[in-house]
Amino acid sequence: MSVSRRHFVSALGLGGAGLVSPPLFGHRGHEARLVEWLNAPPAPSALIRLDSNENPNGPGAKAFEAIRAMFGEANRYPDDPERALVAAIAREHGVSEDNVILGCGSSEILRMCVERFVNTAQHLVTAGPTFELPANFAQTMGRPVVTVPVDAKLRLDLAVMGDKAGGAGLIFFCHPKNPTATVHGDAAVREFVARVRRDSPATYILIDEAYHEYVDEPSYKTAIPMALADPNVIVSRTFSKVFGMAGLRAGYAIVHRETARKLQGWRLGSGINVLAAAAAIASIGDHEHIALEQKRNRDAKAFTRAFFEKAGYEVGASDTNFLMIDLKKDMRPVRDACRKEGIAVGRPFPPLLTQLRISIGTMEEMVKATDVLKRVLA
């Protein structure tokens, strides 16, 4: 049984084998499901999952207590827990409840924005590569997508994205950026937003801050103040990363009231289940636990970076819970060889096919993973 599964089972007080069956834990996260994983070699049972930027430690103790206490409400629709979660998010960010929109994971926020703001006449601007979901949604809906390649430092190319913004319905601004783990300073983000607002006033800018809590770069700032002041700026956040709740599905957006009114109708009603709502409420203000998760990530990331750098590889700057490593050769055979040895690493991100994305697991997992990688890369 994996560390995280053991933790989850014991934290819930479910020791009995039949209560939490293995197949439940065999399903992969949202990210991995997006891609060719059906074609990947079969997963060994003790797979170490470093492929979907999940938090290997799972939710904190307070979240588990809240989940346990909520079991008795499982027969009720989540109206009250959703209201309580909106209040907790508003309190945490010092905003009004009218500025908060819940999503079934931040993925739902991304989908809502594409549905509402991208149409056949107003395209989506995204990066290549970036988190694929908004572009995938737009393509599924038959709506135009303009993809701007990343710059030489694998960051969003803000100059070209600005050039392509004219007449766009939505710009997807992944910040920190998945998969390249990069951020921009606050001044550059503000300048970009100001340019888009001036040149293309009807365009919305979705700033996806899924990895916000992992940022160390001092010039980075959240865009929440911009979203409160400007109806065309939307900030999305998630409980899937530092809060360790990817399987529970809870995310949200902070938006101007005017924009909240435009988006609310596109929500899946009752999209947050009662257990996720309870866990999220217990987690969002648990700063001690967040600090612990940040430290665990920082330590295991430093260990992993040192391994690759010592072996002579170039590792990009990372303000997230994953690293991008330039293997200087096609990463796909390496990915397949790792998987055969029980390590799942990131998918290919064309056109960056020499770059391997590796999510940061526990220190124990990273020790095992780097051992395997040493052999595979030799």
> Shortest Cβ distance from residue 289 to ligand PLP (Å)?
18
Q: Work out whether 318 is an interface residue with ligand PLP (CB under 6 A).
A: no
- Read off φ and ψ for residue 314, nearest 5 degrees: -90, 125
The residue within the footprint of ligand PLP, chosen from 58, 59, 78, 105 (CB under 6 A), is 105
Cβ proximity to ligand PLP: between 214 and 308 the closer is 214
The residue within the footprint of ligand PLP, chosen from 99, 178, 222, 370 (CB under 6 A), is 178
Q: How many CB atoms lie within 10 A of CB 202?
A: 11
Q: Which stretch, 87-95, 101-109, 267-275, 331-339, contacts ligand PLP (CB under 6 A)?
A: 101-109
Collapsing DSSP to helix, strand or coil, 108 comes out as helix
Query: What is 136-148 written as a DSSP string?
Result: HHHHHTT--EEEE
Cβ proximity to ligand PLP: between 130 and 259 the closer is 130
Q: Work out whether 131 is an interface residue with ligand PLP (CB under 6 A).
A: yes
What is the C-alpha to C-alpha distance for residues 130 and 349, in angstroms, rounded to an integer? Answer: 8
Q: Work out whether 213 is an interface residue with ligand PLP (CB under 6 A).
A: no
Q: Work out whether 235 is an interface residue with ligand PLP (CB under 6 A).
A: no
Q: Work out whether 106 is an interface residue with ligand PLP (CB under 6 A).
A: yes
Residue 269 CA from chain centroid, whole number = 22
**CB of 316 closer than 8 Å to CB of 323:** yes
Residues sharing a CB contact under 8 Å with residue 157, sequence separation 6 or more, in sequence order: 127, 148, 149, 150, 151
> Shortest Cβ distance from residue 194 to ligand PLP (Å)?
23
Q: Within 246-265, which residues bind ligand PLP (CB under 6 A)?
A: 246, 251
Q: Which stretch, 104-112, 155-163, 199-207, 293-301, contacts ligand PLP (CB under 6 A)?
A: 104-112
The Cα angle at residue 306 between residues 304 and 311, in degrees rounded to 5: 100
Q: What is the DSSP letter of 119?
A: B
Which two three-digit tokens encode residue 124? 């989506």
Cβ proximity to ligand PLP: between 192 and 214 the closer is 214
Q: What is the DSSP letter of 279?
A: H
What is the C-alpha to C-alpha distance for residues 122 and 113, in angstroms, rounded to an integer? Answer: 12
Q: Work out whether 31 is an interface residue with ligand PLP (CB under 6 A).
A: yes
Q: Work out whether 366 is an interface residue with ligand PLP (CB under 6 A).
A: no
**What totals of helices (H) and strands (E) does the chain contain, helices first?**
15, 12
Q: How many CB atoms lie within 10 A of CB 350?
A: 8
Q: How many CB atoms lie within 10 A of CB 214?
A: 24
Cβ proximity to ligand PLP: between 192 and 243 the closer is 243
The residue within the footprint of ligand PLP, chosen from 5, 20, 30, 326 (CB under 6 A), is 30
φ/ψ region of 13 (left if φ > 0, alpha if ψ in -120 to 50, else beta) reads left
Q: Work out whether 170 is an interface residue with ligand PLP (CB under 6 A).
A: no
Looking at the DSSP bridge assignments, the partners of residue 119 are 122
What is the C-alpha to C-alpha distance for residues 104 and 319, in angstroms, rounded to an integer? Answer: 25
> Shortest Cβ distance from residue 75 to ligand PLP (Å)?
26
Q: Which stretch, 75-83, 226-234, 238-246, 293-301, contacts ligand PLP (CB under 6 A)?
A: 238-246
> Shortest Cβ distance from residue 269 to ligand PLP (Å)?
18
Cβ proximity to ligand PLP: between 126 and 232 the closer is 126
Cβ proximity to ligand PLP: between 143 and 175 the closer is 175
**Total chain residues near ligand PLP (CB under 6 A):** 15
Using CB under 6 A, list all residues that contact ligand PLP. 30-31, 53, 105-107, 131, 174, 178, 208, 210, 238, 240, 246, 251
